[in-house]
Chains A and B, each alone.
Chain A
Amino acid sequence: MRRLTRSCILAITALTALLLAPTVGATQIRRGMAVDSNVVVKIWNPSGSLKLVAWDRDSLHVEGTGPKWAAFFFGGGRNGAKFGIDEEKTKGELPKVALVVYVPRASRVSAKTVDATIEVEGVSGYYTTVSGDIRVTGALRELQVESLRGASEVEVRAPWVRIMGGEGDVTIRGAIEDLAAATVAGRLTADVTGAARARLETMTGALTSHVAVQANGSIELDSHAGTVELVLDPNARVDVDATSVAGKIDNQFDKRRPLPGRGGKGMSFAFATDPSGARVVVRTYKGTIIVRRGA
């Protein structure tokens, strides 16, 4: 009996130690305040993760965990708040902090990270990172995303979206009226409906555009050396003008043949399914242009 009791005590002690282990040396963040529904929020979380969630309350709430030496700052009033990790106090080392932030749906957030991932659900704003990945979903009023090295994935309903990527891939889906996106070496893929204006650019990354554009709208695709794939629905009403200075054009949409460029360099291809349809301009320096049918 005594042996059994001792075993039980040992087991309970071990279990308690195990349960407490992750929180030893960790700091818990839990802050909140009442704010206006259209509050402006600035967040700085260099490393770890940041999750932003829109909610239908007039308050701001932050939860998080990180190492004990991570210095968290938090301040502001009803119409503006600013919080994050105080880098000055961390002596150059970036603490990995996981933050989850709840903000009013009509708020406008500006969040910056170094390598922390950013995940956003339904919050309008400006999100920028050096090498973290960014994922944004939901219905927004406006969105601006920048990542030098990380991947960006955007699946939204929004009137205005701007995305700038470097080496990371950029994937865009949803219904967007005014869209501009660019990468340097990353692959850029857009599968978008309801566009009045779309401008997509890469330097060396491949570009695929399956953008359903409004009748009086326009699409501009541009790449220096990346392959540009223009995907058009069979019933698309478009006026297409494609030119590659030194690259090829491959028309898989119909049987028309693109023309060789001046002096045999490059190619050009122009056709219209509806001359008064949406204007589609494709330009590359040496990247191949492929025009094909979508589903």
Chain B
Amino acid sequence: MTHLTDELLDTAADGDALAPTDAEHLRACAECQTNVERLRALRGRLAALPQALPTDGDLWPTVHGAIRARRRRRLVFTSSFGLALAAALLIAVVRIGNGPGAVPPGTETSAELAELKALAPPVVVEAMAANLTIYDAALRELEAFAASERENADVQQRIEELRRKRAALLRLASNS
């Protein structure tokens, strides 16, 4: 019996429709069902993690205030809260250092493409570079719009969807 691939398990965990044959297999296969449940549980735990800090605006006053508060209270860093705060501060400092946009444009894509180079032939990397450029330009555009219209839930939703589709495209390239 051939079990579902990681990609199909991902799709099932997302709640997206599988091909009829794959759906039939999933209904009958306890092992694949367990894997889907594991993926869902993992996602639940990930979703419960603290959200990323905002990428725009001057974060230094917040960071500075947090540091001062930390000194005053002599917060023990080995506590989970201390670790979370330390991680958040580190991210904030790195982001402030890089200015708005958190990661310099294209850096993330370059890293992904470098990873892909090890897995896929040059023709795939070339095709992905063109497609990812379009996604990243759209994401930057949406993030800039979201920054000016914070209450616009539609745009936030579009950003999330775009990130999900971008990830799906990368998965497709890894399989090529």
Contact = CB atoms under 8 A, between A and B. Distances in A.
Contact of B134 (A115, A126, A184, A201): A184
Contacts of A283: 154, 158
B96 to A, nearest CB: 29
A108 B21 contact: yes
Interface stretch (A3-11, A50-58, A62-70, A138-146): A138-146
Contacts of B123: 114-115, 130-131
Interface in B130-176: 130-131, 134-135, 138, 141-142, 145, 149, 152, 154-155, 158, 162, 165, 168-169, 172-173, 175-176
A185 B128 CA distance: 12
Contacts of B152: 245
**Most A-side CB within 10 Å, residue of B20, B128, B173, B176:** B176
Nearest to B161: A222
B131 A166 contact: yes
A43 interface: no
A50 B155 CA distance: 42
Given A130-B127, A130-B176, A285-B138, A224 B145 contact: no
A115 B127 CA distance: 12
A270 to B, nearest CB: 15
A144 B19 contact: yes
A185 B131 contact: yes
A131 B127 CA distance: 8
A126 B121 CA distance: 20
Contact of A245 (B131, B155, B168): B155
B167 to A, nearest CB: 13
Interface in B62-88: none
A204 interface: yes
Give the interface size class of chain A. 35 or more
Contacts of B176: 112, 114, 128, 130, 148
B124 interface: yes
B107 interface: no
**Which interface class (under 10, 10 to 19, 20 to 34, 35 or more) fits B?**
20 to 34
Nearest to A182: B165
A160 B127 contact: no
B154 A243 contact: yes
Contacts of A180: 17
B134 A204 contact: yes
A245 B130 contact: no
A139 to B, nearest CB: 15
A268 to B, nearest CB: 10
B127 A167 contact: yes
Nearest to B22: A142
B130 A142 contact: no
A214 B6 CA distance: 33
B172 A184 contact: no
Nearest to B142: A285
Given A131-B127, A245-B145, A185 B154 contact: no
A112 B2 CA distance: 18
B152 to A, nearest CB: 7
B129 to A, nearest CB: 11
Contacts of A160: 17, 19-20
Nearest to B128: A148
30 contacts: A108-B21, A112-B176, A114-B123, A115-B123, A126-B19, A128-B175, A130-B127, A131-B123, A131-B127, A142-B21, A148-B124, A148-B128, A148-B131, A149-B127, A160-B17, A162-B19, A164-B172, A166-B127, A166-B130, A167-B130, A167-B131, A184-B135, A185-B134, A201-B165, A224-B142, A224-B158, A245-B154, A245-B155, A285-B138, A285-B141
Interface of A: 40, 108, 112, 114-115, 126, 128, 130-131, 141-142, 144, 146, 148-149, 159-160, 162, 164, 166-167, 178, 180, 182, 184-185, 201, 203-204, 224-225, 243, 245-246, 263, 265, 283, 285-286
